[in-house]
Amino acid sequence: VKANRIKHLFEAVMCLTMLFGLSGCAGFDGFVRKTGPEYDVEIQSWQRIIETKGGNGMWLVSRGYRAGDNLVAISTFSHYSHIGILDHDRGKVIEPLWSGNLETPLEDFLGISHRVVLVQPESWTPEKGSKALAKARSQLGKKYDFSGLIGLPSSNRWYCSELASWCWGRQSDRFGPWHVIHPRRHLKMGRTLFESGPRDGQPDEVPSASTTLR
């Protein structure tokens, strides 16, 4: 019941933010979904790059098109709203959604993303990545941590960046709104291997070398 009340509160906040917010803020970038054959080709190029450059346990930081993505991006004035944990071997992404923790085909994850960044966590190795992925996978089916988004984390629920931090051994259950972990923070917790930029209908090419985080 408490989680449902918090969920409805978030939905109301999103509506108010959209009504009174600045239409030019970063959070509105990605509010309108871009579709068409040219975007399908672009998304396929993202997938090829991630399949080439990615590894188990790496992070996919994204700006999605779901209602929850709009809420996070607009209310925090951010280009990013979500993060998933890559299961490179299976071509899946483990992600906490409002419906709970689940695994999504990489193709579908990218299909609902306006932009995506592939991040290699600090100290990543294939072995550490597999261990982090196993931790994330052990939490499949758990419910969404709505109260954690306002600094009241639950020990048995997860929001997206909370799970992404926890599976790499970072403390993620500290109380207080100042300890809420925004997805964009993970851009500074590792190395960017690929950054798509916003959908523009132009396919991306495989980077020749890893880029250094800004």
Rounded Cα distance between 136 and 133, Å, is: 5
Q: Please tell me the pTM assigned to this model.
A: 0.85
Cα-based distances in Å from 107 to 84, 149, 195: 13, 27, 16
**Closest among 111, 132, 102, 108 to 120, alpha carbons compared:** 132
Q: Which residue has the higher pLDDT, 166 or 32?
A: 166
Phi and psi torsions of 106, nearest 5°: -55, -40
pLDDT of residue 53: 98
Q: Average pLDDT of 179-195?
A: 95
Map out the domains of the chain with their CATH numbers. Answer: 2-195 (3.90.1720)
Tens of pLDDT along 42-55? 999 999 999 999 99
Q: Average pLDDT of 93-117?
A: 98
